[in-house]
Amino acid sequence: MNRLVVDTNVLINILDKNYVPPKSFSQYDQLCVPAVVLGEYRAGLSNTRRGQVMLAKLLEYLRKITVEVLPVTERTAEMYAKVFQTLRAQGHPIPQNDMWIAASALENGADLATTDGHFHFIPMLTVIGPGADT
């Protein structure tokens, strides 16, 4: 199965009614949302007036058969450590939550859809988004 993990910024775009996914999304059988992304999204909702409406949209989206929520596992922690060590050796630190998101994609053999350019510093990760080769 060809899987695509979505970063928080892409999840926000997907939940926007006016969003048109890139054609490259059609090559994936399943969209995956890491638990860390859900945490970031829910945290952002707590500061908005439309929080309850947006939360309802999120829950409806997650019920779709092609969306899988990815938990943080021991294997995710192993992948996180590899991502951390790689970025440290390169001198390119990125936000901790983004390292967890990358680790989740790597653990699940999935590509990552994001608009954040710093994910391109992780050489073992295939990134779909601005600046990506794909």
Average pLDDT over residues 7-29: 83
The pLDDT value recorded for residue 59 is: 85
Q: What tokens does 104 get?
A: 């989740």
Do the beta carbons of residue 35 and residue 62 sit within 8 Å? Answer: no
Q: What pLDDT score was predicted for residue 18?
A: 67
Query: Once rounded to an integer, what is the mean pLDDT over residues 65-94?
Result: 95
Q: Assign 3-class secondary structure to 42-53.
A: HHHHCCCCCHHH
The CATH number of the structural domain formed by 3-128 is: 3.40.50.1010
Query: What is the pLDDT at residue 133?
Result: 44
Residues making up the chain, counted from first to last:
134
Residue 39 to residues 12, 34, 71, 79, 104, Cα–Cα distance (Å)? 13, 9, 11, 19, 14
| Confidence (pLDDT) at 134 | 40
* H/E element, 56: helix 51-62
Q: What is the mean pLDDT of residues 53-61?
A: 84
Mean of all residue pLDDT scores within the chain:
89
Q: How far apart are CA 125 and CA 103, in angstroms?
A: 9
Task: For residue range 24-38, list pLDDT tens digits in order.
Answer: 888 898 899 999 999
**Does the pLDDT value for residue 99 go beyond 50?**
yes
Looking at the chain, the whole-number percentage of residues with pLDDT higher than 70 is 94
Question: Residue 61: pLDDT band by 50, 70, 90 thresholds?
Answer: confident
pLDDT at 55 over 70: yes
